[in-house]
Structure 1
Amino acid sequence: MLLQTEPLDTLFFRNGKPFNRGENNWGESLFPPYPSVFYGALRTAFFAQNPQYFPLAGTSDDPTSSLRIRGMFLKAWGDSYYFPLPRDLIQEKNAGDNCAFPLQLLDTPSLSNCSLPKVLASPPDLIAETIGDGWIDQVTLSEYLANSSKQFYFSDLKDFVTEEAKIGIKLTPGRSAEDQMLYRAGMLRLSPRQDKGKAHQECSFIIDYEGINLPEQGFLKLGGEGKATHYKHIHELDKNSLIPAYSAPKHQVFKIYLLTPAILNNGWLPDWINPDTFFGHYQGLKVKLLTAALGKHLFIGGFDIKKRKPKPMHRAVPAGSVYYFELLEGEAEKVKEVFHYQPFENTPYAMEGYGIGLVGGMDE
């Protein structure tokens, strides 16, 4: 089922940095929110509609245990959908435009501390720099996955959200202000900049989920402070129209682009890859990991409403990261079945929407 959620106010999504007295009085907000934010919001909405089941939360009889987030998409400017920029794309330094180029896949030099057989390098005639918080539209992502273009235009994060500072103070249980507990927080308003020549329309999220039944429309409490967002189910939109089409690899080399952050059992590696040889067997396929383009790891936690305490913190691979593989055994169509719009690793976190991958092709 597809659900669209639109904010009614500013939103706040905490990152993993400390926000304690004496350490930091500025609360930073991240964007986009992690998939678990929507997973928790949908569970909360279900229990709000069915309070008689709340005592079963977290037990073997939990009616939300089959809830699964299959994907999340940013919608902006009418019917345009946007995705995190792949991390194997770079831009020319001081170019002045938002045009990205792919890194080149090369053999690892003999004198290198890289244990993988391949490395990603910028073209020799290009002074390159990495891109922070880039986003590409659906058409551009399709071209990237199909390997049908060598340049990709992207948007900046500030084109979608506007940060608004909020000043507050911690309150005592009696609702009076505590001394020396003043703080500031960066609230996010999901609204495109007007100087971009776009019609005024706030951004929204499309969530692909299954496993529970919710009313056709209602409200979700999203992020810090439980800000309200209005949701409605979308029946006229086919989710296959949101997912870039799969193009079978022309050669034995393919890549997996992470649509959402991935919490993996072995850090940056899925547990089905041997960390010494980088060979792996997964659901009838034999592959070899050639290289990867990873961003800085994330710290992902959360809050357990029933236990009323924070959840354990986990390190995660950020969205947009790309893994390059060589297919050694198996058919190209099997690659689609196993990896395209599927979890990169079958963990409990995959149910919350972490580690959803899309398959892309490569030149020989």
Structure 2
Amino acid sequence: MRIFIQPCEVLLFRTGHPFNAGENHYADTLFPPTPETLQGAIRATIATCWNPDRTLAEVFQEPELVSLIGDMEHYGRFSITGIALGRRRKNADPASPIERLFPIPAHFLSEEGGAKHLVRLQPRPHEAEVYSNLPDRLQLLYPSRAVQGKLEPLRGWLPERSLQKALRGQEDIVLSEVIDPATIYAYEMRQGIGINNQSKTTAEGQFYQARMIRMNHHGEDPFIYGFVVDIRLLQITQQGTTTPNQFVADEQTQRLLRLPDQGWMLLGGERRAARFEVIFPSKSTNELPEQQPEGNLLYLATPASFERGWQPRIWSTAEPVAVAMERYQPIGGWQLTPGGSGGRSKALRRCVPAGSVYFFNSPMHSMQPFTDYGGQIGYGITYSGEYAQ
């Protein structure tokens, strides 16, 4: 079951940096929201729609709901199998498909000059005059063509068709296919002041600033932007156990979760309003990244958390010969106290960021999920591709 989430006001997706009243005065935000944020918002929405006449604390006492989406201790049969940005034309029919947008793969860089050009990186064996502290099994990444200017990381998003071109390696993408982040969202600064909960008055010395995200800020833009999330329910055996990567049909999933075709939800910090609607994937699936289940390249569409830094605890198949990625992304979270407004911070994890690319010497099946943590809630979603060896 695929849902499209359209924000209706500014959003706050907190970073892993501390923000304690009286100690810090600036709260930063990140984009896009992490799997932790999305799974919490979606599970809370499902619980709200399950029985609107009861509070969340009361609803989560029902065994049937807990078996489907879990509680504070586990996720039940709930599983997120896809996370992306999405867009739809403003004048399009409401039943029209949503086009998904993905982070640009990390092995594409931009060459500075009079006009920026895209450059693809490819692994090559060590040359005799090059010395490195990399293990012998790992190769360095070199531009696929001669470059004159400085190479820099490329920021932006790719539509599904462009991502498929980038991962297949048969043809290059052009700069016009890259969607600038400034097209999708803009930052807004907001000021606030702490409140004394006992006296209900402002607290002295607790003035703060928060950087918020506003999507759909260009009135003249032909598209509406939001988030696309694929939700599945794991099948259950006669013994009452779940089967990995075996899911219930989408129509049955929506019925079991009692989720309406559309409705309201709360998203991110400060519980901002957003609309959701249940949509169906496009029937023209020939461009979808999921249609290539095997290749010698793996692309991370969402962050992944590994026990050994950039690599998993155990390689179930051959190890990669090269990896293209930026620095780690710290991801934490907030765990609410049942029946109250308090809570505690989740452990902060250093994650491999979305867009990272792993290169292999032999064809690999797309590993779902490719992560040591959070595979059930959307961490480590991968797509396969090809590169010229």
Would the TM-score normalized by the shorter structure come out above 0.5? yes
Unpaired segments ≥5 residues, structure 2: 71-75, 90-97, 234-252
Query: Which residue number in structure 1 is paired with residue 32 of structure 2?
Result: 32
SS in structure 1 of the partner of residue 224 of structure 2: coil
Query: Which residue number in structure 2 is paired with residue 88 of structure 1?
Result: 107
Taking structure 1 as the reference length, the TM-score comes to 0.83
SS in structure 2 of the partner of residue 263 of structure 1: coil
Question: Which of 284, 305, 326 lines up with 2:361 in the alignment?
Answer: 326
Aligned: 1:244 with 2:289:
yes
Query: Which residue number in structure 2 is paired with residue 162 of structure 1?
Result: 186
Mapped contact 2:164–2:287 kept (Cα < 8 A): no
Query: Which residue number in structure 2 is paired with residue 232 of structure 1?
Result: 277
Q: 1:145 to 1:41 in 2, by over 3 A?
A: same
Query: Which residue number in structure 1 is paired with residue 161 of structure 2?
Result: 139
State how many pairs are aligned.
335
SS in structure 2 of the partner of residue 33 of structure 1: coil
Aligned: 1:76 with 2:98:
no
User: Which AA in structure 2 matches 1:90?
Assistant: L
Alpha-carbon distance in 1 for matches of 2:172, 2:3:
34
Mapped contact 1:53–1:63 kept (Cα < 8 A): no
Q: 1:157 to 1:292 in 2, by over 3 A?
A: same
1:123-177 Cα deviation digits (max 9, x unpaired): 4433232225321121111101111223432122111001111111111113311
Unpaired segments ≥5 residues, structure 1: 274-281
Q: 1:236 to 1:243 in 2, by over 3 A?
A: closer
SS in structure 2 of the partner of residue 113 of structure 1: coil
Q: 1:11 to 1:133 in 2, by over 3 A?
A: same
SS in structure 2 of the partner of residue 114 of structure 1: coil
Alpha-carbon distance in 2 for matches of 1:248, 1:7:
32
Query: Which residue number in structure 2 is paired with residue 220 of structure 1?
Result: 265
Alpha-carbon distance in 1 for matches of 2:188, 2:329:
23
Alpha-carbon distance in 1 for matches of 2:12, 2:284:
27
Aligned: 1:300 with 2:319:
no
Alpha-carbon distance in 2 for matches of 1:239, 1:20:
49
Query: Which residue number in structure 2 is paired with residue 277 of structure 1?
Result: none
Alpha-carbon distance in 2 for matches of 1:128, 1:33:
31
Q: 1:155 to 1:192 in 2, by over 3 A?
A: farther
Alpha-carbon distance in 1 for matches of 2:319, 2:164:
24
Q: 1:355 to 1:240 in 2, by over 3 A?
A: farther
Alpha-carbon distance in 2 for matches of 1:238, 1:91:
34
Alpha-carbon distance in 2 for matches of 1:242, 1:47:
35
Alpha-carbon distance in 1 for matches of 2:164, 2:123:
20
SS in structure 2 of the partner of residue 141 of structure 1: helix
Query: Which residue number in structure 2 is paired with residue 13 of structure 1?
Result: 13
Mapped contact 1:56–1:63 kept (Cα < 8 A): no
Q: 1:126 to 1:140 in 2, by over 3 A?
A: farther
Matches within 5 A, 1:1-364: 1-20=1-20, 24-48=24-48, 49-50=50-51, 51=56, 52-55=58-61, 63-64=69-70, 65-76=76-87, 78=89, 79-97=98-116, 99-109=117-127, 111-115=131-135, 116-122=137-143, 123-153=145-175, 154-174=178-198, 175-191=200-216, 193=218, 198-199=221-222, 201-211=223-233, 213=257, 214-235=259-280, 237-238=282-283, 240=285, 243-244=288-289, 246-247=291-292, 254-273=296-315, 282=316, 286-306=317-337, 308-327=343-362, 332=363, 335-336=364-365, 338-339=366-367, 342-345=368-371, 347-364=372-389
Q: 1:241 to 1:218 in 2, by over 3 A?
A: farther
Alpha-carbon distance in 1 for matches of 2:21, 2:283:
48
> Could you tell me the percent identity over the aligned residues?
27
Greater mean alpha carbon deviation, residues 106-115 or residues 124-133: 124-133
Alpha-carbon distance in 2 for matches of 1:242, 1:145:
11
